[in-house]
Amino acid sequence: MPYHADLATPLPHPRSLFEKDKLLFAFVLASKLLMDEGRISHEELRFLLTGGVAMGKSPLPNPAPEWVSDRMWGEVCRAQELPAELWRGLAQHVAEDPAAWKRIYDSLEPHTEQLPDPWHAKLDAFQRIVVLRTIR
């Protein structure tokens, strides 16, 4: 495991955390380590936590208003504006094949479902969680 200078300072021992805070502590620690290693970006983490900031209308019309809420469609459109080039075309793909994405939306265990091609192979595990956040 690589050495992290920011972890050289004493950390609160997990026994001193309230039970309800342990999962949050683990998430913050893991996300900080992944950012330091360059495996996740600040923008993607911020998007996961907030869903992005809505700025006016979505650039594309909602392809399936019967199950895609305006909030969800706005987040899908904002996800493709993340700095990494690999996000480009996400909203167009959802608009072109909403049935493939509805399968994930309806799933009781969406994290076990494969994203429609080419997205499952194109995105890493953290980025797939970002996509799940937009459609769930």
Q: CA nearest 107: which of 78, 136, 64?
A: 136
Cα separation, 92 vs 98, in Å, equals 10
Element (H, E) at 46: helix 42-50
Planar angle of CA 90, 48, 86, nearest 5 degrees: 30
Query: What is the model's pLDDT at position 4?
Result: 57
Quick: pLDDT tens for 8-19: 555 555 566 688
Top pLDDT among 112 and 17 is at: 112
Give mean pLDDT, residues 106-120. Answer: 93
Cα separation, 104 vs 85, in Å, equals 24
- By residue count, the chain amounts to 136
Query: What is the model's pLDDT at position 21?
Result: 85
Quick: pLDDT tens for 21-76: 888 999 999 999 999 999 999 999 999 998 877 777 778 899 999 999 999 999 99
Q: pTM value?
A: 0.78
Percent of residues in the chain assigned helix, strand, coil, to nearest 5: 60, 0, 40
Query: What is the model's pLDDT at position 102?
Result: 95
